[in-house]
Every structure is written in C-alpha cells, then in structure tokens.
Amino acid sequence: MKKIVLHGLPVERDSEKYLTQIIDRLNKEGVEIWYTSLFHSRNSKLLKEALNLTENITSEYDAVFSLGGDGTFLETLLWVGKSEVPILGINMGRLGFLASIAKEFIKESLYLLFKGKYEIEKRSLLSLESNLGLFDGKAYALNECAILRKDTSAMIMVKCYINDQYLNTYWADGLMVATPTGSTGYSLSCGGPLMMPDSKDFIITPVSPHNLNVRPLIVSDDSELKFEIKSRNRSFLVSLDSRSETIENDVSLVVKKASFDAKLIRIEGINFPDTIRNKLGWGFDKRN
C-alpha cells in the first residue's frame, strides 16, 4: 500500500495518541498519507502540517482508514462511492460491527496489515431509484433503505412488488430493505433475522406493522423491489443508512442491488462470529 487516506470524526484528546500511532506507522512504511478535507477541518489543530488533502477518494488510493465508529464508516463509504477503495474501520470508541479494530489494538493490526495478514471482504450495497434525483446522486446504502412515516403522522401504506409481481400491502410505521451487513442494525431492532455478511439475500422488514401476522421476509439479492407509498399527511421519509429525505405521496421507488460493492479490510484474527458474540453478549453466563 503506497497511498492511504485518513477520514473520521474530531479526535478526542484521550485518543490523540492513537492517531499519532497510525501516522507514525504509515510514515515508517513509507506510505503517502492523504486526508479528506473534512477530516482535516475537524482536526486542524492536530494536522497543521497536513498538505495532502483530497475532496474525492478515487481508485488511485490503495485504502482508506475510517477513524470513528460505524456511523463514521458509513460516512467514509460516501466518500469512496463507486471507486471501491478498500476501507479499514478503526474504532475510536466502543467495538463496532464495521469499525472492528479497537484503538488498543491499532499497533498490532497495522503490523498485520503491512505483513499482508488481511483479506478484502465484499459487502453488497442497496441502490435506490426514482425520478426525483434523491440524495445528491449518492442513492446507495450499506445497511438499509427505509420508508418511514414522518414525525407523528398516521401509519403509511406501502404496496410492495418483487420483480413486478405483487407481494403485499403493508400498513405500518414503515418498511425497510436491509442487506446482510444491515441485518445487525435497524432491521434487527424491528425483529429481522441476523445474516452472515456473505449471504446473497436481502431482508424486507416491516416497522411496527398494523397486522401482527406480517413478518420479515428474506429475498434473493438479485430481486428488484418496487414500492408504492401513500400517507395521510401526503409525505413520508426515505432513509439510506443515516441519511433521510422527505418525499411527497404518489411516488414509485425501486430498490435493488447496486452495481458496485463496499470493500472492507478484515485483519487476520478478526471475524464476524467473534464480533457478534462480543456485541450481543452471546455465550456469556449472566446468571451470577
């Protein structure tokens, strides 16, 4: 790896030493260090000498280090976009599903990285299509695309089609399509199943459905899902991961697998089963 970009949140005082560790290691490896302009502006006092600033992360870079939590990782992905530059998530807080490297293990993880002890995981993305030009041309999501009622309005009605075949009409607070990556997030809190990251499926998960016999449904990730939405207050929300926009009634939305993937750098010894056990507390006897 010759050119690496750093992106992330403002670095807290007690985490400044970890940023120094990262920069020192990259310099030791002879890496050309770049910074997103946003990361630099958030940490201008720490990065006074940063001259290599970028507004776009293109395929000329070998990797991006995302410094923060899972939310920061999703923000980093927006900078990467279709370039598919691999992302290494370094968690500056608590252990995350995407930012899986704890700050206490930065030295060890970077050692393994530059020894080639890592693999690139491809994660499917969702693409949202409409005639409204939503999300400034970045209408894709790693976790989920959700259609939600706005504010405290009445529940919405969502008519769903799979590959132009009618599936169901949902009366609910909302409906989402989640990826395997997103199965550990919003979908899980709404009763959706957990999926291994390399699964070739999506999950249709209702949010507080009016009919209690409506359950999450797993569909193949080569499916094209079409939604027709109506709301009593004539508007609703559409969200892609942590971003959302208000949309008026009587619009048709199409959700399908994106034409490009997110690429995650997974350091040797860190895997999904370990992460999920630690995050969800599986296998621990809590009776004492």
Question: Which residue numbers are catalytic?
Answer: 70
CB-CB neighbours of 245 under 10 Å? 13
H or E element in which residue 68 lies: strand 63-68
d(CA 232, CA 235): 8
DSSP 93: S
Could you write out the DSSP letters of every residue in 175-226? EEEE-TGGGGTHHHHTTPPP--TT-SEEEEEEEEESSTT---EEEETT--EE
Residue 35 to residue 4: CA distance in whole angstroms: 8
- Partners of 176 in the β-ladder: 146, 205
| Tally of residues, the chain | 288
Structure tokens at 263: 């690429």
Contacts for 188 with CB less than 8 Å, ≥ 6 apart? 194
CA distance 271 to 162: 33
Which residue's entry shows tokens 């989402």? 176
